[in-house]
Amino acid sequence: MEDVKHPAAITDATFQAEVEQHKGLAVVDFWATWCGPCHMVAPIMDQLAGKYNGRVKIVKVDVDANQATAMRFNVRSIPSILFFKDGRHVDTLVGAYPSQAFEQKIEQHLS
């Protein structure tokens, strides 16, 4: 089994430094503790954080605690997975998907 890393939790206060100033690909999981599908996506994000460790930054934002960032990126449904390349929002997946769907997006934006 591959090494499992846990995506770092970021906040409204750290979002700019962690995501918008990041060079390369960053994947942001917008979630909440009460969201069932979010709990289905969490282990997939853990697995991807391990698989792409050092190549892709994967982080989580709790929408209840960080409403300003969620509103800024128009996150209305969760889970919402936003993809940022060199600090720019380039793609979004809304809902629970199998890991292949997330991997496809990651590979698409890594190339």
Range of the domain at 82: 8-88
Q: Is residue 97 part of a domain?
A: no
Residue 101 falls inside a structural domain:
no
Q: Rounded to whole angstroms, how far apart are CA atoms 49 and 42?
A: 11
Residue 75, domain member (yes or no): yes
Residue 103 lies in a domain: no
Rounded Cα distance, 54 and 90, in Å: 20
Total count of domains within the chain: 1
| Active-site position among 25, 26, 35, 56 | 35
DSSP assigned state of 2: P
| 2 within domain boundaries | no
86 is a catalytic site residue? no
CATH of the domain at 78: 3.40.30.10
Within a domain: residue 102?
A: no
Helical H runs in the chain? 12-15, 36-51, 67-72, 99-110
Per-residue pLDDT of the chain (111 residues; tens, 9 = 90+): 345 578 999 999 999 999 999 999 999 999 999 999 999 999 999 999 999 999 999 999 999 999 999 999 999 999 999 999 999 999 999 999 999 999 999 999 998
Reply yes or no on whether 32 is catalytic: no
Rounded to two decimals, the pTM is 0.94
